[in-house]
Amino acid sequence: MNGMAEGPGSQGVIEREDSRYPVLLSLIKNPPEQLRYTGDPCLLKAPMIAIVGSRSSTDYGRWAAYTIAKRLSNHGVCVVSGMAEGIDTAAHQGALAGKTPTIAVFGTGLGLCYPRSNLGLMRQIARTGLVVSEYEDAYPPNRYTFPARNRIISGLSYATVVVEAGFSSGSLITAEHAASQGREVYAVPGNINRKSSIGCNKLIADGARPVVFIDDILSDLGISSDIAASLDKSLTAQERRVMETLRVHGELSHDRLASETGLPISTLTSVVTLLEIKNCLTTGAGKIFISQ
């Protein structure tokens, strides 16, 4: 491999003494001696946020991971995850749907794809973003490589967002690494009746910041979401009322939005549909929220 390869689709190795080695990663207790990569190593200079969670995810968890990742990506944040099934996959997909490429950190060598079902995703990330590993190309997975991989995910990132995690989820290891590295930990609150929510709810009880509004993460990074600027002057009075109401409340159900705006449900449905067509709004999990 050529250690000086640059640009999308390139391959190489970045040693610890290399000027391209990520500064945040170099500050952790046991940084990897090298990072093997495929893709664009320039991404390692971007502001990064990790999004991780359970492989055994719910529809809500995947929706949350996708939505948070897309929102961050649209505001210049590079989403880092581990390309595992479930939450990791949804996070990468959300980032790919946004404007900023994503980084996948492998728990194997880059010559392998684990899980195999994510081969297409791996190739897409390698074309537009970056995949990295501390292992030789043919290095196989084992019980130690993934926990070790998690310290790199958190070590690259200003903060780690845990979307869904059971009591013994590997994503909690990433959160522990982040906390020990002095990085912020966020957790998405979950239904107390679901096993998949235990980990996140426990993190919040132990001091992690709950993700109430996605823009809170952007604000903490010093990145303005510029929601007000997205209120196009061409919007009708009713459309503007809906957008301004969501700006205040973050996300609302149809019934609550109707109540807050004073619009009849039939009118609101029509307005929301038109705003979706204009790419101003997104709907999901029974909620309506600003997509820009």
**What gap in Å lies between CA 133 and CA 110, rounded to an integer?**
7
Q: Where in the chain is the domain with CATH 1.10.10.10?
A: 228-290
pLDDT tens digit sequence for 63-96: 999 999 999 999 999 999 999 999 999 999 999 9
Phi, psi of 130 (to 5 degrees): -155, 135
Parts of the chain belonging to CATH 3.40.50.450: 10-220
Mean pLDDT value of segment 251-278: 88
201 band by pLDDT with thresholds 50, 70 and 90:
very high
Q: What's the whole-number mean pLDDT along residues 236-248?
A: 82
What distance in Å separates the CA atoms of residue 62 and residue 143, rounded to the nearest whole number?
Answer: 25
Alpha helices in the chain (DSSP H): 23-26, 59-73, 87-97, 119-128, 145-156, 171-180, 198-205, 214-220, 237-249, 254-261, 265-277
At what angle are helices 265-277 and 254-261 packed, to 10 degrees?
A: 110
Tell me the CATH class for 228-290. Answer: mainly alpha
- CA 231 to mean position of chain CA atoms: 25
Residue 157's CB is within 10 A of a number of other CB atoms, namely 29
**Confidence at residue 120, expressed as pLDDT on a 0 to 100 scale:** 96
Contact 119, 113 (CB under 8 A): yes
* β-strand pairing of 130-133 with 287-290: unpaired
Q: With beta carbons less than 8 A apart as the criterion, state whether 72 and 49 touch.
A: yes
Put simply, whether the predicted model's pTM sits higher than 0.75 gets the answer: yes
pLDDT tens per residue across span 222-234: 765 554 444 445 6
Residue 126: which of 3, 36, 38 has the closest Cα? 38
Residue 127 to residue 186: CA distance in whole angstroms: 29
- pLDDT bin (cut points 50, 70, 90) of residue 247 is confident
DSSP 68-123: HHHHHHTTTPEEEE---TTHHHHHHHHHHHSSS--EEE-SS-TTS-SSGGGHHHHH
Fold of 10-220: Rossmann fold (3.40.50)
CA distance 172 to 100: 26
